[in-house]
Amino acid sequence: MEGASFGAGRAGAAVDPLEFLQGPHQSLQLCKWIFAIVVFGSIINEGYVNTDKSPMLRCIYNANESACNYGITIGLIAFLACSLFLVVDLYFQQISSVKDRKRVVLVDLGFSGFWSFLWFVSFCFLANQWQRTAPSREASHGGDAARAAIAFSFFSILSWVALTVKALQRYKMGTDMSLFATDQFPPDPNAGYPGYPTGSGVESTETYQSPPFSETLDTSPKGYQVPAY
């Protein structure tokens, strides 16, 4: 994934799945994946309680259905997105097009940044509603799950922000177009093209012939004398 032009020079390289999962980028993806499961799983399993006065299940966060729905939705979408990005990262080395690689990095950067903000909203929303929840036997029974969802929402903020920063670094590294630099172009754009080779630079006079019409003509042919009168 690293390198000039979003790693296009390494396209087609073989990927070891075990080594792939041990990379720092993939480790963050796995952490986000686990945190998302904890958040929406805690709310689904123990986030809805009933009271003695009513058998109807209500959200444990101050009986605010929006709080539970928001936490479940954000966590579930984050879980699916992390799974998708893991698959994309696994096959990233097989993408030979620089434009396609750039799109993948930009989508990763934009989505990670946006979801970092949504996790921050989730943490603030759930924590605020939990503070307003009146003490009760039902709230005490599901309190651990409620606090777990709040805590892992905060951990999700850190992991998604870290991945956003890493995606930004990958984008900046990918804009380095030195991969396409070749030796046929001079380093100075204003410099002219090199001339043709001139050989060893030593010229021999033996290779030259006498210039045409440079010899003096003999006006008196042999064997002929001018008569005297």
Please give the average pLDDT of every successive group of 10 residues along the chain, which has 229 residues.
44 49 70 92 90 80 93 95 86 76 87 95 96 85 91 95 88 58 43 52 51 53 57
pLDDT at 148: 94
Cβ atoms of residues 165 and 113 within 8 Å: no
Distance between CA atoms of residues 227 and 28, nearest Å: 118
Backbone angles phi, psi at 150, to 5 degrees: -70, -45
**pLDDT at residue 212, rounded to an integer:** 57
Cα separation, 78 vs 206, in Å, equals 84
Structure tokens given for 161: 């922000």
Please tell me the distance from the alpha carbon of residue 75 to that of residue 224, in angstroms, as a whole number. 121
Model pLDDT, residue 50:
82
Dihedral sign, CA of 209, 210, 212, 218?
A: negative
How far apart are the C-alpha atoms of 133 and 62, rounded to whole Å?
4
For residue 20, what pLDDT is reported?
A: 47
Tokens standing for residue 72: 């479940």
